[in-house]
Amino acid sequence: MRRCPALFISGPASNSGKTTVTAALARWCRDCGRTVRVFKTGPDFLDPMILERASGAPVYNLDLFMGGERHCRRLLYEAAGPADLILIEGVMGLFDGDPSSADLATRFGIPVLAVIDGSAMAQTFGAVAHGLATYRREVPFAGVLANNVAGAHHYRLLTEALPAGIGAFGWLARDAGVALPERHLGLVQADEIEDLEARIRRAAAALRGFDGHGLGCGGHSPPYGVETALEPIEFAQPEQTPLPSGLEGRRIAIARDRAFAFLYRANLDLLRDLGARLVFFSPLADDALPDADALYLPGGYPELHLERLAANRPLKAAVRAHHAAGRPIVAECGGMLYLLESLTDVKGHRADMVGLLPGRALIQKKLANLGVHRVRLTQGVLRGHTFHYSRLELALTPVAWSQGRDADRRGEPIYREDGLLASYLHFYFPSNPGAVVQLFNPAGTVSAGMAGLPNNHHR
C-alpha cells in the first residue's frame, strides 16, 4: 500500500482551461520542490506533451475502457511511490462519457477540483459549482478554481454565491500570455510552441489564492481548501500478471518527430517490458531506416509536412524495402496515411507518399470519426481510439472492422497487406500484450492463455 495526496482536475465542459490550470499547478508544485506526477484521462496525446513539460516527469493516460481498472491502479500505485502529489486532468466535462471523469475519480477516491471559466458570469458561478458538486453525491468533490477572471473584485463576485461546503481554491487571471494554442486535433504539440516554457511559468506565477495573493512557495500557505483536498490517498498494489514471450531481443524501429508523435508512453513501456529494443527515426529528417525487425508508424500530423515527407525519397524507398523483405509494419492513423500513394491537405495541396497502400486520403474540415473502439483481430482483441478528419479511398478489402464503445459510432476498417497492418485506430498496447507480440513478431511464441485477453498487462 502506498499513500500520496492526489487531486482530480475537471470542469463543466471542454475548453474550461483544465490543461492550463493542471500545467500551472504542476509547475507551481515543482518550483516549490515537490515531486509531482501528472496523468491525463482518456485517449489524448497532445495534453500529456504539455503536462510533461510542466511537471518534468512522464505523463501517462488513465482510461478505464482502453486500459482497464487494474492497469490504471498499477499506474497510480507506481506514481505514488516517488510523488509528493498526483494530479489527474480529466477529459471533456466531469460527467461526460462512459466511463466519465467522475467515474474514474469515484473509482479511486480522488477529490475533484472543478475548473470553471468565469469570464462571462458572476453569481451564476455558484450555481454551476453547486450542480457539479451535487449531481452525483458519490463523487468526491473538493471545490472549485475560477479561470479567466478579470481581477480580485470579479473573483469575489464569482465566489460569494458558492454554497456552503464548496471550497474556493483560487483563480487564474484572464491572460492571453498563458493560453495554449490549438488546431483541428486539439492543442498544438509542445515542441511546436516556441514560448511554451514562458507560458507555463507565467501561468504558475499567476495562480492566486482566495485572498488574491500569489500561492507562493516554501513557508507560504496554499489556497483555501487545498489542505483538505490533499489528504493522502491509499493506492494498493494490484496483482501482477506475467507477460508473454516473443519479442526478446527484437528491434522495433519507431517513427518519432513532429509529423509522427502520437505515442502512448504505456505502449513504449510495454514493448520494452516484452523484451523489445526500441530505436527511433524521423521520416522528416532521416534518409535510412535503423536496422530493425519490425516497424511502428504511429499517428501524428503528416498533412502538415507534406513537402518534406514527399521529398525524402530514400526513406520512402527504405520503408518499401522493409515491407518487401516480409518484416512486420504496424501503421496507425497518420502512419497509415504516410503509406498511401498520396495525401492531400485541407487546402488541396497533394503530395506523393510511400505507395505501399493502393489509395489516397484527403484531409477535410469536417470530423470523420471520434471515439474509443475495440477490434477483434486474428491476434486477439485490442482496444484503442480513433480521431481523424481525413477521408480514405483505398482499394483493399478490410480484414476486420472495429466496434465503437458507443453504438452510434461507426467502426474503422482494418487493412492487411502481407506483413503490414494499417488502420485509423490508435491501439493501446496494454489492452492485450499477447496480441502485440504477434503483431510485431508473427512467428513469435506467446505464453498459453495470453493471446486474446484484454487488460492483462502488469503496468
φ/ψ of 77, rounded to 5, equals: -60, -45
Of the listed 4, 29, 72, 333, which one is catalytic? Answer: 333
Cβ neighbours for 208, distance < 8 A, ≥ 6 positions apart: 152, 155, 170, 171, 172, 173, 214, 215, 223
E strands, 133-216, are 141-149, 167-173, 182-183, 186-187
* Cα-to-chain-centroid distance, residue 152: 34
Cα first-last separation, the chain: 16
Tell me the Ramachandran region of residue 231: left when phi exceeds 0, alpha when psi lies from -120 to 50, beta otherwise: beta
Annotated active-site residue 333? The verdict is yes
Which set of grid coordinates corresponds to residue 198?
Answer: 514562458
φ/ψ of 22, rounded to 5, equals: -60, -45
CA distance 413 to 219: 57
Catalytic residues: 333
